[in-house]
Amino acid sequence: MPELPIPSVGQLVFAAVALFTAISGLIVVASPNLFHNALALVATLFGVAGLYILLEAEFLAVSQVLVYVGAIATLITFAIMLTRSMMYGRTSPVNRQWGKAAIFAVLFFAVLLGFVQGIPWVSNMAELPSSQETIVALGMEFVTTYVVAFEVLGLLLLVALVGAVMLARDN
Amino acid sequence: MREHWSEAFIGLLISFGLPELLATILAYAIGGFLLVFIALNSALILIWITRKVISRMQDRIGPNRVGPFGLLQTGADAAKLMSKEDITPTEADKIAYNLSPILAVFGMVMLWAVIPFAPGIIGADLNVGVIYLVALGSIAVMSALMAGWGSNNKYALLAGFRVVAQLLSYEIPMVLAILTVVLLTGTMSMASIVGFQSLTIAGFNLGFGWLGFLMPGALLVFFISTLAESELTPFDLLEAESELIAGFHIEYSGMKFAMFFLAQFVISWVWAAVVATLFLGGWQGPFVDQLPILGLVYFFIKAYAIYVLQQWIRGTFPRIRIDQMMYFAWKVLVPLMVGLIVIQAIVQKLPVPVVIQYALIFISNIGVVGIVINVLTGYFRNETIRTKRSFQPRSLIGTMQPAE
Amino acid sequence: MLSQYAFILILSTLALIVPIAAITIGHFLGPRRPDPVKNAVYESGVETIGDTWVQFRAQYYLIGLVFVVFDVEAIFLFPIAVAYKSPEFGLFQVIATLFFILLLVVGLLYDWRKGALEWQ
């Protein structure tokens, strides 16, 4: 007798979170109201944070919520409100190129699927270290192995601060 | 560390013959429901406290008719709001308008998940608890923006923008103050931070190793930021009645308004509880190791004391202007906290005994307290002079001078 | 670790259901007598003139940008703060951290000098 494919709780939760993320993502591109697009984007980012948690990437998940939901989403909403012509909502979600874009999206999906199929996934993962250890290791990595990248990031943030003034002055 | 509440509870349910999965879900659901229930119902007592405290400051008695000491007044108000018409203004953005009050309550309740009430009594002891707090706190920003945008009202939109600007500005000093705590304790878990604040002398836990004693500067900055985050005076320019009528929830009525009202009061208590947890030892206190239930008592006394302090400030201080709000956040609190973090980072790596390190941290914190108090008194002194001058009777002749 | 988040998941479901239920009950308990004046926008009894969604000041956007930078900085400093007390965290690491903070301080000072932190 073949084994019935009864999904585990983890799989069900994953399916629910993934579905939530995908549907919100669809609303982002399909809704004609710009503000609703931004709200759906927030929901999508929340869903992605949920996926990170399912991958036991706890710190990444809260960072995702803090930076993307708390800051970037607000900034995007501000940007929408700044552009006067866009404030009256209704923009068309399609333009002349949408047919070509759809074909490329499907092709891109096929390529991704091919890659994912090709990877030999490890099915029996060893027990992960506790998240406290993970965070400590992460903090150490920033200032040892990836110290150059870390300082370049600091430089990038400095450039962002300088650029912010330039941008706002133009307005 | 004491075991998490859910372990004993799940064990109990399994002993009733439930399968483990079902027992886990049931235990979490009951725990979660209890948390939501307490979170929402604490609004009844919180609003009563606010009214009583502010009434006393304004030489009034406050609610005293419904129930003993007017305790049931808030319940009566809730019943009234429930029977009110649910009005949606024309041309409102229906989705944003209706989602906003739900999100306000959602964001508030989610914060309760990481507050340690007593040893082992914490919704979810996350290893990233403090960042979770700040991250979920930003749902309030989204909610305000949605209400402001969705109401199709100029005042609401204006207030929404002010809320966002204020919450964003004060989130930075708040995060930096939390960073000083994490730097010292080496953990982001709320329960572990409380555990760090024990003070054991000769095998007896006095429970007075409060971080607030060591870092009064960070405590003060964090407390001021919580006032701004919970939109209380002197940071209530977002709902300034005389300018914006009520704030971003001006167009809401009935239960939707009640949701905003409730979320606002409970969220200020949540921040008070976080101040108590991070800086005043949470449930730590004498004899708490012997009698864990005392922890619950200590925690609630501390949290409510800070809540009353918040309301006291609310009843006393004048409102600040938006430029002052920005100035204070970005030019006073943020530089001070960055300086404090740099000093603390250096001090903690100095090759000297811990006692000297702590002494140096304490001294630098006192400096921060001094500067903040100095800025505040300077501002409020100017404000007092200005107010007095505007009330001074002027002679009619004096004002009728010919133009120069 | 995931069990803690299972609690968060269940709590978030409850935290959504309860306000939705409260608002729905309130919606059906209250009267429903809409009329155009009542549903009009409330602006202290004055007729609304022009659009609601007026263009707002760029200053708000600037605050948002500065906030994002500091938020990202803080989120990178948190794991470092957790690892800070470990003995492997030596002098080089301390200097690297302080340099990172210094870059941000320079940015803050620049914005300060340019008047970006002032409300005009």
pLDDT digits (tens, 9 = 90+) for C29-83: 878 777 777 777 766 666 666 665 666 677 788 888 888 999 999 999 999 999 9
Choose from A60, A74, A133 for mutation: most chain B CBs within 10 A: A74
Query: C65–A164: do the CB atoms touch at under 8 Å?
Result: yes
| Range name among A29-33, B124-128, B367-371 with the lowest pLDDT average | A29-33
Q: Which residue of C has its CA nearest to A165?
A: C116
Nearest by CB to C106, from A84, A138, A158: name it.
A158
Q: What is the pLDDT of residues A74-102, one digit of tens each?
A: 888 887 777 655 555 566 666 778 888 88
Nearest by CB to A165, from C2, C5, C116: name it.
C116
> Which residues in chain B are closer than 8 Å to C77, comparing Cβ atoms?
179, 341
pLDDT for the residue numbered B291: 81
Q: Which residue of A has its CA nearest to C101?
A: A154
Report the gap between the CA of C55 and the closest CA in chain B (Å).
11
User: What's the mean per-residue pLDDT of chain B?
Assistant: 84
pLDDT for the residue numbered C101: 92
A171 pLDDT above the threshold of 60? no
Cα B183 to Cα A147, A153, A166: the distances in Å are: 19, 21, 34
Q: What is the value of pTM for the model shown?
A: 0.90
Nearest by CB to B85, from C33, C60, C64: name it.
C33
Q: Name B44's Cβ contacts closer than 8 Å, sequence gap at least 6.
A: B74, B75, B78
**Would you say B126 and B284 are in contact if contact means Cβ atoms under 8 Å apart?**
no
Phi, psi of B356 (to 5 degrees): -70, -40
Give B15's pLDDT tier (boundaries 50, 70, 90): confident
Helices (H) and strands (E) in chain A, counts: 7, 0
Structure tokens given for B72: 């049931």
B399 pLDDT above the threshold of 90? no
pLDDT for the residue numbered B162: 82
Higher-confidence position of A34 and C106: C106
Query: C76–A135: do the CB atoms touch at under 8 Å?
Result: no
B400 pLDDT above the threshold of 70? no
Q: Which residue of A has its CA nearest to B127?
A: A132
Q: What is the pLDDT of residues B50-92, one digit of tens each?
A: 888 888 888 888 888 887 887 888 888 888 888 888 878 777 7
Query: B99–A39: do the CB atoms touch at under 8 Å?
Result: yes
Residue pairs between chains A and C whose CB atoms are closer than 8 Å: 145
Q: Which chains touch B (3 or more CB pairs under 8 A)?
A: A, C
Q: How much is the average pLDDT of B147-174?
A: 84
Report the gap between the CA of B269 and the closest CA in chain C (Å).
17
B383 pLDDT above the threshold of 80? no
> What region, left, alpha or beta, does residue A122 occupy, with left being phi > 0 and alpha being psi -120 to 50 degrees?
beta
Q: How much is the average pLDDT of B280-305?
A: 86
pLDDT for the residue numbered C51: 63
Choose from C73, C86, C92, C103 for mutation: most chain A CBs within 10 A: C103
Peptide bond into B68 cis (omega under 30): no
> Which residues in chain A are closer than 8 Å to C96, comparing Cβ atoms?
143, 147, 150-151
pLDDT for the residue numbered A124: 62
pLDDT for the residue numbered B264: 87
Report the gap between the CA of A95 and the closest CA in chain B (Å).
25
> Which residues in chain B are closer than 8 Å to A130, comparing Cβ atoms?
127
pLDDT for the residue numbered A17: 92
Report the gap between the CA of A123 and the closest CA in chain B (Å).
23
- ipTM attached to this prediction: 0.89
pLDDT for the residue numbered A112: 93
Query: C53–B157: do the CB atoms touch at under 8 Å?
Result: yes
pLDDT for the residue numbered B404: 46
Q: How far apart are CA B209 and CA B402, in angstroms?
A: 67
Q: What is the pLDDT of residues A1-21, one digit of tens each?
A: 456 667 777 888 889 999 999
Give residue B403's identity as a one-letter amino acid code: A
What is the torsional sign of CA B49, B50, B56, B59? Answer: negative
